Chains A and B, each alone.
Chain A
Amino acid sequence: MSNPTEFLALVRGPLFDVAIAIFLFGVILRLTEILALGRKHDYSESRGGEGRGGWTTIWRRMLPDQEKIKRAPGVTVLGYLFHIGFFVCLLLFVPHIELIYNLIGIKWPGLPTPFIDVAAIVAMVSLAALFVNRLIHPVLRFLSTFEDYFLLVVVFLTVFTGYAAFHRLMEPASSALAWHILSVELMLVIFPFTKLMHTFTLFIARWYNGAMAARRGVQS
Chain B
Amino acid sequence: MSKPTFEKGYNAFKKEIDAPVASFFSSCVHCGICAEACLFYTETGDPKYTPIYKLEPMRKVWAQEYTLAGKLRSALGLGRKLTEDDFKEWEELVYDSCTLCGRCSMVCPVGNDIVYMVRKAREAFVAAGYIPAGMVGAATRAVKIGSPMGVRLKALEAQISHIEEETGLKIPMDVEGAEYMPLLSSMEIINFPEYLSALARIFREADATWTLCSEAFEATNSGIQLGSADIARELLQRVVDGAEKLKVKTVVGPECGHAFWALRWEGPNLIERPYPFQVQHILELLDRFRAEGRIETKGEIKERVTFHDPCQIVRKGGVLEQPRNLLNMIAADFAEMPDHGKMNWCCGGGGGVSSNERADELRIKVFALKKRQIEASGAETLVTACANCRLMLEDGIDEYQMEMPVIGLTEAVADHLLERRKD
A-to-B contact residues, CB < 8 Å: 29-30, 33-40, 42-45, 47, 57-58, 61, 65, 67-68, 71-72, 75-76, 79, 137-145, 148, 193, 195, 197-198, 201-202, 204-210, 212-213, 216-220
Contact = CB atoms under 8 A, between A and B. Distances in A.
Interface string B10-30: 000000011111111011111
Contacts of A208: 19-20, 23-24, 111, 113
A142 B35 CA distance: 11
Contact of B31 (A79, A213, A220): A79
B26 A145 contact: no
Interface string B101-132: 00001111111110010000000000000000
19 contacts: A34-B22, A42-B269, A43-B269, A44-B265, A44-B266, A44-B269, A45-B279, A61-B109, A67-B107, A71-B36, A72-B32, A79-B109, A195-B26, A197-B27, A198-B26, A209-B20, A209-B111, A218-B314, A218-B316
Interface of B: 17-24, 26-33, 35-37, 41, 45, 47-48, 50, 52-53, 66-69, 105-113, 116, 264-269, 271-275, 278-279, 314-320, 342-343
Nearest to B267: A44
B268 A206 contact: no
B47 A34 contact: no
A40 B50 CA distance: 28
Given A45-B278, A61-B111, A71-B36, A212 B68 contact: no
B109 A205 contact: no
A103 B416 CA distance: 72
Given A68-B107, A208-B113, A216-B317, A143 B32 contact: yes
Given A34-B19, A43-B269, A216-B265, A139 B50 contact: yes
Given A195-B29, A220-B105, A205 B23 contact: yes
A44 B22 contact: no
B30 A140 contact: yes
A13 to B, nearest CB: 27
B95 to A, nearest CB: 20
Contacts of A218: 314-318, 320, 342
A38 B265 contact: no
A195 B105 CA distance: 19
Nearest to B343: A67
Contacts, number: 172
A57 B41 contact: no
B19, B26, B111 pick with most chain A CB within 10 angstroms: B111
A68 B37 CA distance: 9
Contacts of B32: 72, 75, 137, 139-140, 143
B92 to A, nearest CB: 16
Contact of A44 (B112, B268, B343): B268
Contacts of A206: 110-111
Nearest to A34: B22
A53 B391 CA distance: 34
A195 B267 contact: no
Contacts of B274: 43-45
Leading 9 A-B pairs by shortest Cβ distance: A217-B318, A206-B111, A43-B268, A142-B47, A139-B32, A71-B36, A202-B110, A208-B20, A204-B23
Contacts of A212: 20, 113, 116
A140 B267 CA distance: 38
B33 A76 contact: yes
Contacts of B111: 57-58, 61, 202, 205-210
A40 B18 contact: yes
A205 B112 contact: yes
Contacts of B31: 72, 75, 79, 140
Contacts of A140: 30-32
B33 to A, nearest CB: 5
A35 B265 CA distance: 23
A205 B267 contact: no
A72 B36 contact: yes
B53, B107, B342 pick with most chain A CB within 10 angstroms: B107
B31, B48, B52 pick with most chain A CB within 10 angstroms: B31
A143 B53 contact: yes
Contacts of A43: 268-269, 271-274
Contact of A139 (B18, B47, B279, B319): B47
